[in-house]
Amino acid sequence: MSRRVMLVEDEPNITEAIRFLLIRDGWEVETHADGTDAVEVISTAKPDLVILDVMLPGKSGMEILTELRARDDLQGLPVLMLTARGQSRDRDLAEKAGVSRFMTKPFSNSEVLTAVRDLHAQATQT
């Protein structure tokens, strides 16, 4: 069973921390830092799961999520959205756009691992 994650995050420290954590847990991790071409990169990489930051250069995570959900081949792709802003408005927008799970920064390593494992398990059951 494949365990591939695409991490779309522009903060190098957060990217490296999540990448290290997931690789140590047995995941294959690709990273990308620009929202402009994120949908194309995700489509080409064909990950099992996407971790997506809300605030990215070029295009927001919300815009990327909306584009992912509009594509037949990516509609069911699990997306864990990360944000530094935990306002309920952001959460509501993400849920309306079709996010699988929403997480506010800062988060613990165990929160990220649990979310990724849960989303992957749910996706492989369907």
**CA nearest to 33, candidates 54, 49, 11, 5:** 11
Provide the mean pLDDT of the chain.
Answer: 94
Rounded to 5 degrees, what are φ and ψ at 26?
95, 10
Which position has the higher pLDDT, 42 or 94? 42
* Residue 67 CB burial class (10 angstroms; 0-12, 13-18, ≥19): middle
Q: What is the pLDDT of residue 125?
A: 84
Q: Residues in the chain, how many?
A: 126
pTM: 0.95
Kindly report the number of other CB atoms within 10 A of residue 116's CB atom. 23
Is the model's pLDDT at 39 over the cut of 70?
yes
Q: What is the pLDDT of residue 85?
A: 74
Q: Are residues 123 and 75 in contact, defined by beta-carbon separation less than 8 angstroms?
A: no
Using one digit for the tens of pLDDT, what is the confidence trace for 65-109? Answer: 999 999 999 999 999 999 887 678 888 889 999 999 999 988 999
Structure tokens at 26: 């047995």
Spatial CB neighbours of 24, under 8 Å, sequence gap ≥ 6: none
Q: What is the pLDDT of residue 90?
A: 83
Is the model's pLDDT at 126 over the cut of 70?
no
Which position has the higher pLDDT, 44 or 87? 44
